[in-house]
């Protein structure tokens, strides 16, 4: 069965908009697992724009929740990740001005650093993953860095699908990358910008073992939850 990891960063974004405690990312983590998600993804960004250190602490303490912690190569963030012992880590690039993770890691530029980080997590039995662009060069490099998994950045194909543009070339590239990665012993994950349509397209690639999806699921859940919340208020003020 292909696994689904849910990124709950945007629950924290909404909470932080009021500097308060609601909605609570820990409660969201428990809910998504109870609803059938296989794991929860949280990204502790250097600017702490959504998930905070205390969220990482509380969520990683929940033994029933498989936690995939996304982190940059920053040494302070790395220490926090090692201290909290998530089940999985995914190394991602981070750029202060970006709205979201805009591309994959620059593996050739950071290879020594990444290799060292991977070995630190492996010593603690934490599954490692590298968020990369779908290129053959990066798949080969990822293998050399001894990661357990790779997560292919699906932002480009998602944008093409949403814009009703031809996505065939990007799909062929993703398929080639998945085949090669699986052949050389890397577990393949995919994520970024996925919605129902793109996920249906990528689901056909049998090497993809895990999808990590955030923004669309949280956005869609607003519509499916509005009805019940409004009805509750109508009852209260009747
Ligand atoms: N995977 C990784 C590595 C990410 O950085 C993100 C975005 O934070 C996602 C998956 C989820 O992307 P989206 O929120 O667009 O579904």
Domain map of the chain by residue range?
3-237
What span, in angstroms and rounded, lies between the C-alpha atoms of 127 and 148? 6
Only one residue has tokens 């990528």, namely: 202
CATH topology for 3-237 is: TIM Barrel (3.20.20)
Q: Best of 4, 11, 38, 41 to mutate for ligand 1, by most ligand atoms within 8 A of CB? A: 41
Ligand 1 atom, smallest distance to 43 CA: 8
* pLDDT-above-90 percentage for the chain: 96
Who wins on pLDDT, 50 or 96? 50
What pLDDT score was predicted for residue 95?
80
Using the predicted structure, report yes or no on whether residue 135 has a pLDDT greater than 80. Answer: yes
Ligand 1 atom, smallest distance to 92 CA: 3
What span, in angstroms and rounded, lies between the C-alpha atoms of 175 and 178? 5
What pLDDT score was predicted for residue 99?
76
What pLDDT score was predicted for residue 100?
74
Q: How much is the average pLDDT of 158-169? A: 98
Model confidence pLDDT, tens digit, residues 171-224:
999 999 999 999 999 999 999 999 999 999 999 999 999 999 999 999 999 999
What pLDDT score was predicted for residue 16?
97
Terminal-residue alpha carbon distance, the chain: 47
Identify the three-state secondary structure at position 166: coil
Using the predicted structure, report yes or no on whether residue 103 has a pLDDT greater than 90. Answer: no
* C-alpha of residue 214 to centroid of ligand 1, in Å: 6
Return the bridge partners of 5, or none.
39, 212
Show the ligand 1 pocket: residues with CB < 6 angstroms. 7, 9, 43, 70, 90, 92, 100-101, 131, 151, 191-194, 212-216
What pLDDT score was predicted for residue 102?
76
Report the mean per-residue pLDDT for the chain.
96
Ligand 1 atom, smallest distance to 101 CA: 5
Using the predicted structure, report yes or no on whether residue 97 has a pLDDT greater than 90. Answer: no
Return the bridge partners of 131, or none.
151
What pLDDT score was predicted for residue 8?
98
User: How would you class 97 by CB atoms within 10 Å of its CB: exposed for 0-12, middle for 13-18, buried for 19 or more?
Assistant: exposed
Q: CA 160, 223, 32 angle in degrees (round to 5)? A: 85
pTM value is 0.96
Model confidence pLDDT, tens digit, residues 115-127:
999 999 999 999 9
């Amino acid at each position: 069965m292909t696994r689904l990891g849910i990124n709950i960063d945007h629950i924290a974004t909404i909470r932080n908009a009021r500097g308060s405690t609601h909605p609570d990312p820990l409660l969201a983590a428990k809910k998504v697992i109870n609803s059938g998600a296989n794991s929860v993804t949280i990204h502790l960004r250097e600017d702490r724009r959504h998930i905070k250190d205390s969220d990482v602490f509380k969520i990683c303490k929940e033994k029933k929740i498989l936690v995939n912690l996304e982190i940059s190569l920053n040494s302070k963030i790395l220490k926090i990740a090692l201290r909290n012992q998530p089940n999985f880590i995914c190394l991602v690039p981070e750029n202060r001005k970006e709205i979201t993770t805009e591309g994959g890691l620059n593996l050739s530029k950071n290879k020594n650093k990444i290799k060292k980080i991977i070995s630190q997590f492996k010593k603690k039995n934490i599954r490692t993953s590298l968020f990369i662009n779908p290129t053959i060069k990066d798949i080969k490099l990822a293998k050399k860095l001894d990661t357990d998994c790779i997560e292919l950045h699906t932002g480009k194909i998602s944008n093409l699908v949403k814009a009703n543009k031809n996505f065939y070339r990007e799909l062929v590239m993703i398929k080639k990358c998945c085949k090669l990665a699986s052949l050389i012993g890397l577990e393949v994950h995919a994520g970024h910008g996925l919605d129902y349509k793109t996920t249906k397209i990528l689901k056909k690639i049998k090497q993809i073992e895990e999808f990590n999806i955030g923004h669309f699921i949280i956005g869609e859940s607003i519509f499916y939850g509005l009805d019940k919340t409004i009805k509750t208020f109508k009852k209260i003020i009747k």
